[in-house]
Structure 1
């Protein structure tokens, strides 16, 4: 049976399929973890420890050696993405209640959901798109995007906008596994290879554990809103990313548009933040469902839009080059006539 090949055809499938299975279990058999206990309970309720191991392995997989072009490109995209999420948080905080909207079409929408959907780029999706439509340096820009993984950026945005107060040790705790992994991976390349292999393997496990916290009734309620959130993420983050890529990163905007997605790992951030700040618990479940929908929507639309943008920019470049070549030939002819 080609189970993996089938799952891989679904955008973010290795994350979202186990998440959906976990949500089915939680919706129709919510006491399964307590009933089976032991390792089964640990697998169903171990979102935070599984993510901690994944975060460590992600840090170990990053090579500190990168070209200046890669650092400039990735730094531009990462900082722009975070800055946009910060501005959105500042504006949304003026209109949305701390626990999120409770009734009506926008029920479930919260500042936590908006930040989690916008502050992290799907690095794997970005790299695969840019390998087809960009340069090697642009494809390699996903290196710094890995630094967005985990709850740290979400916590920083919530803290800096005054929406939450985190103790300094909470920030250290959020990033420490990543930093230890990063250090070990760069001290020993064999360790980087060893731990780096686990990053993909752990994805379905934390997807399932995360799904075991979600009631499918919430997903049904936020379905259309989740689709709109995904579209909003592409528009709101995509435009600044395109401009930043063109005027700072030295590209033609293709890399910026390719970075306007929602990372699969972002689905876990609302629950993690809520585990540290209980005041976000009322919004966490709906935020998780909305971010999951945004992951699917952006995973489908971003490659299509990036392909269109890349073709448009290539045609524009070829047209400009043709005009320049024609002007150059005309100048040579005029020069030749003048010499005669």
Structure 2
């Protein structure tokens, strides 16, 4: 769960505790181009104060105006659609053809917010089910593949870290990377068997594991929602992690170092039970080539590459879905009369 959504829920909790009237707006559907994805949230107070985002700004302005004027729902949650016509899309700053559907709910009892935040802090994934008619809320465990569901009567949203980042080495670069990754919906695990590094690690909401890197990769059961980034500069540690990570389904495996050092690394890896295809998965040097030199710049380059890779995978999955749907349509028997 990224830092924006955490800020939204914390605002809802604090405002209700202060006696304010509060609404929570959630993007539930998008059609065509849209500024924010399903699940994006905006918290609104009766005086127009807002936290979060559901669009580029114009829809927020409209909702803020309605909150101030008392024109938001009071006793049930309601669906609101923006951009139905071309004129509305232009007025609200939506891209050409874009339509955004929201659920706006009055938060009468915020008891569930603290529970969700507590579960997120413990790196648990939670589904929240809202009954639009009576505003009842149920919380239940969810898996990393859980997605937002809206049927017009019930809204189910998913909260918690559904992506993992395993960092090998508790270095200064690692600390910058960990802090930034927490803001991008990652559960961050840092592996380093060296006591002199782990004893001074101070990044909150991350997990330190002191085992050997290859063992840790196996113990974590690295999956397609996990990235593994080796940052120790010590081949004895980095290579151990890479030997297992490159054989895993991890969506991203990278290692710090120059082009020359990484070529030598690939030569070393080829001496073990890795195929050429597995070694080719290694992103080394790690991160996008943006000319980064300092630890925070390197962290930005790595996270930018993770964002790019996740977007590429999402586009690929969407194309596969469309292709499968098209193939299914082609083989559907035609009705004869």
Say yes or no: TM over 0.5.
no
TM-score (norm 2): 0.25
TM-score (norm 1): 0.25
> Hey, which of these two has a bigger chunk of strand by percent?
2
Taking CA–CA contacts closer than 8 Å with sequence separation of 6 or more, which of the two structures ends up with the larger relative contact order?
1
